[in-house]
Amino acid sequence: MGDDAGRLSLLFRFRTDGTVAITSDYRIPDETLYTKYYFLREPEGVRVFLSNAQNYLSSVLPGSDASFIIPQLGTTDLKVIGTETGSNYTWSSREVSAVEAEESAKSTVIALKRAGLINGVIRDAQGHFKAHYAISLLKNEIAFSLLKDRKLTHSVAKIQEVSENKFTFESTDFGDFRVGELSFRIMDSDVQMTIDNDHGWVVTPNKDVVPYFTGKDYKTHIVSKNNSKGDASDQILSDLSWLSVGDVEISDREARPLVMCPGPQDAIWYIFFDANLSVRSESDRIYFSRTPGYMPFGGADRIAETEEKLRHLLEFWYSPEGLYMVRDSDKDHQYIYFLSPMGDAWIKAQR
């Protein structure tokens, strides 16, 4: 079933025993609902009742109906009216093989969701961060963010097919980085992803980065131009070259504030910018809501000056598009990358 506004599709498999299996297409990775159906002839047509289906249908298609009127029966496409909302729908017949293919594709998506691989990280053979990807099922596309030679670039490819254990999509080309397919091996609850590329790069989940950042085990990370800690995109590094600021801490205090001390060496003039963080539909994308800076320990007021000198840093940190987060490490340090989902700004904060 699809509505005439062109939204998502629902699949109904009516059985002769009076039960129906209801599922959405793979873009909504919800489980299948099994329930009962009833037909009733009325003057305006045939009424179809779906028992106990309202909550499920509304979660998939907000405002959807759970009973329908079929004004005129046919063999292929049926024009159907929702009895609760009056919305117009189209019911189209499907071959069993087509429905089974859709269900197979959806099982792949559900397995990926459970494994935390709808969004993920592409790493080199040594396990170091190379790129981030995000699969948007509703947009039917996959977005890559590649960090190479300290430059962050993005590319979006349309998904061409979702089948058993595989996504195929338009080839994505970042110069010498080309991706053409993501494949999955599903064994019971274990899901492994491989990427079709010439570099020996691998794919890993990214579902744990935000729980780590918001949890009790997180420790302060720092980015600093003057003290050579971490790294950042050029414009943010230019902000951090301000001689009055040394370390910028992404603090492990409960509010996860940005903390800096833009004062003379013999003074402690700490300025805090709280995170006010939230997470929405993507598990590794975090949003910070800006509030005025403050100085909990007093001192000469340099908040306005700091906001001006670190303008690009603060605009990046509090971007309404949010930031993707990725953990990384080398033999000496642990890091968290904060990446703009659309722009070229980024931070590599060092623990």
The CATH code of domain 102-205 reads: 2.40.128.210
DSSP 285-318: EEEE-----B-TT--S--HHHHHHHTHHHHHHHT
With beta carbons less than 8 A apart as the criterion, state whether 207 and 284 touch.
yes
pLDDT of residue 252: 94
pLDDT at position 104, please?
Answer: 74
**201 burial level (CB within 10 Å; 0-12, 13-18, 19+):** middle
Phi/psi for 158 (5° steps) reads -75, 135
Q: What percent of the chain has pLDDT over 70?
A: 83
Specify the CATH architecture of the domain 2-94.
Answer: Beta Barrel (2.40)
29, 103 Cβ separation under 8 angstroms: no
Q: What residues does each domain of the chain span?
A: 2-94, 102-205, 210-350
Q: Residue 6 — very low, low, confident or very high, per pLDDT cuts 50/70/90?
A: very low
7 pLDDT tier (thresholds 50, 70, 90): low
Mean pLDDT over 55-75 rounds to 77
Which range, of 113-117, 162-166, 235-239, averages the lowest pLDDT? 162-166
Q: Which residues pair with 161 in a beta bridge?
A: 168
- Mean pLDDT, residues 323-351: 95
Question: Mean pLDDT over residues 240-248, rounded?
Answer: 79
